Amino acid sequence: MMHSLFPQRYMLYLFTFVIFAFNAEAAPFFSSPNSNLNSIASPWIPSSQSSSRNAKTNSNPPFPHRKRQFATFGPHLSLGQTESEYIKLTTTFIPGRPPATATGSLFIWPGFFDQKNRSEGDLVQTVAEFHNSSTMKDTCGAGPGQWCIRPFVVSKSYISQTPERGRAIDGGDAIRLEYVKAPGEGGSWNQSIWNGSKGGERLFSYVKGSARCKWFEIATESQGGNKGSADTQFYYNTTLVLKDPDPKLGERFITTGDIKATKPVTTDGGRNWFIEKVEVPPMLPGTAWKPG
Ligand SMILES: *[C@@H]1O[C@H](CO)[C@@H](O)[C@H](O)[C@H]1NC(C)=O
Ligand SMILES: *[C@@H]1O[C@H](CO)[C@@H](O)[C@H](O)[C@H]1NC(C)=O
Ligand SMILES: *[C@@H]1O[C@H](CO)[C@@H](O)[C@H](O)[C@H]1NC(C)=O
Ligand SMILES: *[C@@H]1O[C@H](CO)[C@@H](O)[C@H](O)[C@H]1NC(C)=O
Ligand SMILES: *[C@@H]1O[C@H](CO)[C@@H](O)[C@H](O)[C@H]1NC(C)=O
């Protein structure tokens, strides 16, 4: 009867909780002050603020190192932990409009990491960020109704590396993302971002991080009192490539909240996976920015 009491989804929560509990310093398990937010499966976090309090060595000064902040998470999607490892992701991401008013910071992203190696590994994530208007201007020159987007690699759960400035995108922009790991042991991750709506201009190719990644996640993350997303996010034609086939990957697929997603499918026995459409509904409907 265990399996009916503990369906897969709850097992995952349990598993995640255990990981957090044992790894409390690197990845604290926060209980959310807001019942709309599930503080589960929280990977490493890009911080909204650069911080000189981060005392660990910074051997690579051009990339700001940021300290992680208290964060809460909205609905998420994941495929659990694979025994193989991811070597590639492609997707087309439409972030939707940011909130009309900025309380704290909102981050939405698809990411790769290793749930069992959070304290030593890398989180590879391209992030759409939303902050108050002065921070938006400083981060990427964004105007009202825009996001900043840029690639991040968060190493060892707290060393957050990212280009100093992001690029401004509109909520309706179709952003094409590609994360590729160079072949071989220790091959580097290369995250590329194109503004698909506008002639496909490439905004970034960012080579950073080399850890093996075994977990894929789509997340909505709030910091600094932010209460969640205001508009629907879409991810189209998501492809995930593993180094070795994992025919059971699709069985560990979970979504939380009201996320609607087509099932992951494979046509080659589990090396290449495809998710046609993911729709992440707003956490706070009716609060999105509107053109004046
Ligand atoms: C915007 O946010 C930054 C970083 O959180 C903060 O330091 C700054 O005071 C805020 N500015 C305004 C005008 O609220
Ligand atoms: C992306 O395209 C949109 C138009 O759809 C434009 O407003 C935005 O500035 C573009 N961003 C970049 C960084 O090119
Ligand atoms: C990163 O990926 C982009 C897009 O596929 C490619 O053009 C670029 O050469 C790659 N960079 C490296 C260092 O491999
Ligand atoms: C964790 O990641 C680090 C950095 O990539 C790597 O050196 C180490 O072997 C990994 N450990 C495990 C258990 O996978
Ligand atoms: C997804 O792929 C299909 C088939 O190739 C294509 O028709 C569609 O335009 C793609 N969607 C996006 C948003 O790129």
Averaged over successive runs of 10 residues, the pLDDT of the chain (292 residues) comes to: 34 32 24 28 36 28 45 95 98 98 96 94 97 96 97 92 96 97 96 88 97 97 95 98 98 97 98 98 98 88
* Cα Rg of the chain (Å, integer): 18
Contact 6, 86 (CB under 8 A): no
Determine whether the shortest distance from the Cβ of 192 to ligand 3 is under 6 A.
yes
- Structure tokens that stand for 193 in this block: 């971002």
Contact 138, 187 (CB under 8 A): no
Ligand 4 nearest atom to the CA of residue 186, by list position: 5
Q: Which residue's CA is the nearest one to ligand 5's atom 7?
A: 237
Contact 170, 145 (CB under 8 A): yes
- In angstroms, the CA 196 to CA 177 distance is 9
Scanning the chain, the segments in alpha helix (DSSP H) are: 2-5, 8-22, 133-140
**pLDDT of 69:** 62
CA of 286 to the centre of ligand 2 (A): 24
> Is residue 96 included in any domain, yes or no?
yes
- In angstroms, the CA 216 to CA 254 distance is 11
Ligand 4 nearest atom to the CA of residue 212, by list position: 5
Among 250, 253, 277, which residue's Cα sits nearest to residue 265? Answer: 250
> Is residue 60 included in any domain, yes or no?
no
> Is residue 53 included in any domain, yes or no?
no
Q: Which residue's CA is the nearest one to ligand 2's atom 14?
A: 195
- Cβ neighbours around 291 below 10 Å, total: 6
Ligand 3 nearest atom to the CA of residue 182, by list position: 14
Residue 117: give the domain boundaries. 67-280
Sign (positive/negative) of CA torsion 33, 9, 261, 29? positive
Burial class (CB in 10 A: 0-12, 13-18, 19+), 51: middle
Output phi, psi for 122, to 5 deg. -120, 145
> Is residue 62 included in any domain, yes or no?
no
CATH assignment of the domain containing 102:
2.60.120
- In angstroms, the CA 116 to CA 158 distance is 16
Q: Beta strand pairing status for 201-207 and 189-195?
A: antiparallel
> Is residue 98 included in any domain, yes or no?
yes
> Is residue 131 included in any domain, yes or no?
yes
> Is residue 37 included in any domain, yes or no?
no
Q: Which ligand is nearest to the CA of 173?
A: 2
- Lining ligand 5 with CB less than 6 A are 92, 174, 236-237
> Is residue 173 included in any domain, yes or no?
yes
Q: Which of the 8 DSSP states describes residue 63?
A: S
Contact 179, 89 (CB under 8 A): yes
Q: Which ligand is nearest to the CA of 92?
A: 5
Query: Structurally, how many domains does the chain consist of?
Result: 1
Determine whether the shortest distance from the Cβ of 134 to ligand 1 is under 6 A.
yes
Q: Pick from 94, 198, 202, 289 the residue to mutate for probing ligand 2's pocket: most ligand atoms within 8 Å of its CB.
A: 198
